[in-house]
Amino acid sequence: MARDFRELLETKWDEGKFLCVGLDSDLVKIPEAAQKEDTRTTMVAFNRAIIDATKTVVCAYKPNPAFYEARGEEGYAALRETIAYILDVAPDIPVILDAKRGDILSTNEQYAISAFEHLRADAITVHPYLGAEPLKPFFDREERGIIVLCHTSNPGAKEMQNLSVDGGEQLYKYVARSAAERWNAKGNCSLMVGATYPEELGEVRSIVGDMPILVAGVGAQNGDLEKTVQRGLDSRRRGLIVNASRSVIFASKGEDFAEIAGARARELDSKIRESL
């Protein structure tokens, strides 16, 4: 039976787990203690150590392929091996490929094959700039999670995302409404909203009801965790995937990097639970 992203998430929410660890494994930031004989081995060894240290408290892992593609063939092989390792040692934890894909229909067909068949991710982030029609190859994968960028966490997000569109509604709200009312026919659509914009997060939640929301920007970007939880939870007190990347995986530069990453993940898990 194929893995189902939403079912995997619901099981984790049943366990009270909302933390997602982003595996943005920048090679130049990997501690000396994790350095091996080549790029692929180094990245895989580092990721395995982080996964082993955090797998008891997370609801998902989120590798960003940019950090792997930048290292050529060895980096891409490391990404594949990292996802394979998660599927092996933590098969109940979904993997989100934070690729932010979005192109014309024929190109997206290839992106979907790469993400879901070659890399074996359970979900992918996409952007809606080309409209809903070219996203069909993603949404057609009913068992996968399709996470649409809605209001991102970066400082310049408002430049485009807060523009008024037809009727005066801000663009990010229009995206949220479109996702809830038109794009979620198969029940596999989710949204991404930055924790650095808690007001907008609350507005998106009011628009989309109980759809899952991936929240980025907790940690290195200083998003407010308590506000994120309070404004992002759905009517069932679920619905959130709270991501932290650099603040967890690079919490220590020493030999204790995995131990400290695990402690940081447990700390964030506790803070999320306190805010529920």
Residue 62 is a catalytic residue: no
For the stretch 23-37, pLDDT in tens is: 999 999 999 999 999
pLDDT at res. 220: 65
Q: Are strands 240-244 and 58-61 parallel, antiparallel or unpaired?
A: unpaired
Q: Show me where the domains of the chain are located.
A: 5-275
Q: Active site residue: 12, 17, 36, 100, which one? A: 100
CA angle 202, 209, 142 (to 5 degrees): 125
**3-state DSSP assignment of residue 40:** helix
Decide if 58 contacts 265 (C-beta within 8 A): yes
Distance CA 13, CA 19 (A): 10
Segment 220-249 shows an average pLDDT of: 92
Which position has the token pair 């990404």? 79
**3-state DSSP assignment of residue 213:** strand
Distance CA 195, CA 216 (A): 6
For the stretch 82-118, pLDDT in tens is: 999 999 999 999 999 999 999 999 999 999 999 999 9
CATH number of 5-275: 3.20.20.70
pTM score, two decimals?
Answer: 0.97
pLDDT at res. 188: 98
